[in-house]
Amino acid sequence: MINRKNEQSTSLETAPEEIKLAVDLIQLLEENELELETTIQALEIVLADFKNKRKK
């Protein structure tokens, strides 16, 4: 039987940096048990901020 957790861990280790960061952010947000709409609104603000920084 394949160990799914070990398989996921290995594939995450070799994943691109943006995937690793996304997984970390999802885990952080889920662990804090924030309201879904609040989380989405906050992420939209963060995304807009980073897109504005990219333009500079």
Contact (Cβ atoms closer than 8 angstroms) between residue 3 and residue 13: no
- Flag whether 6 is in a domain: no
pLDDT at 5: 57
pLDDT at 18: 95
pLDDT at 44: 98
Q: Tell me 32's DSSP state.
A: T
- Flag whether 10 is in a domain: no
Domain span at residue 49? 16-55
Contact (Cβ atoms closer than 8 angstroms) between residue 20 and residue 12: yes
- Flag whether 40 is in a domain: yes
Per-residue pLDDT in tens (0 to 9) along the chain, 56 residues: 455 555 556 788 999 999 999 999 999 999 999 999 999 999 999 999 999 999 87
Number of domains in the chain: 1
pLDDT at 1: 46
pLDDT at 9: 62
